[in-house]
Amino acid sequence: MKIIVVEGKKDKERLLQVLDEPVAFVCTNGTLSEEKLESLIWPLQDEEQVYIFVDADDSGNKLRSQLKRELPNAKHLYTRKIYRQVQDTPLEHLAEVLFKAKFEVVLE
């Protein structure tokens, strides 16, 4: 199963509006402490289909950088800087990004 790492619950809820396949989510709720790394991220190191989809702001960039080190094989998905946050990105753009990454999507 594909796994998407996001920053928060609202990001997950937004992505679920366009996803048309089962996907597991890991919500980091911001930056990762050593404790969170052990419990949330390290178990993903052997997974093949891990995607990182975080905000296009300073905290998102910091988290993405940290996740690149911890999950070097993960694929990175990006929202546009003008939208800044995944939760504020138009559904059409989210669907396009996910479709290009080979996710099944739907727009109602």
2 three-class SS: strand
The pLDDT assigned to 42 comes to 83
Burial of 81 (0-12, 13-18, 19+ CB in 10 A): exposed
The pLDDT assigned to 93 comes to 98
Q: What is the pLDDT along the chain (108 residues), one digit of tens a residue?
A: 999 999 999 999 999 999 999 999 999 987 778 888 788 888 888 889 999 999 999 999 999 999 999 999 999 999 999 999 999 999 999 999 999 999 999 976
The pLDDT assigned to 32 comes to 78
Q: What share of the chain is helix, strand, coil (3-state, %, to 5)?
A: 40, 20, 40
* Model pTM score: 0.93
Best CATH choice for the domain 2-100 from the list 2.40.400.10, 3.40.50.720, 3.40.50.300, 3.40.1360.10:
3.40.1360.10
Question: CB neighbours (10 Å) of residue 97?
Answer: 21
The pLDDT assigned to 5 comes to 96
- Measured CA to CA, the distance from residue 107 to residue 86 in angstroms comes to 16
Alpha carbon distances (Å) from 33 to 3, 29, 86: 20, 11, 22
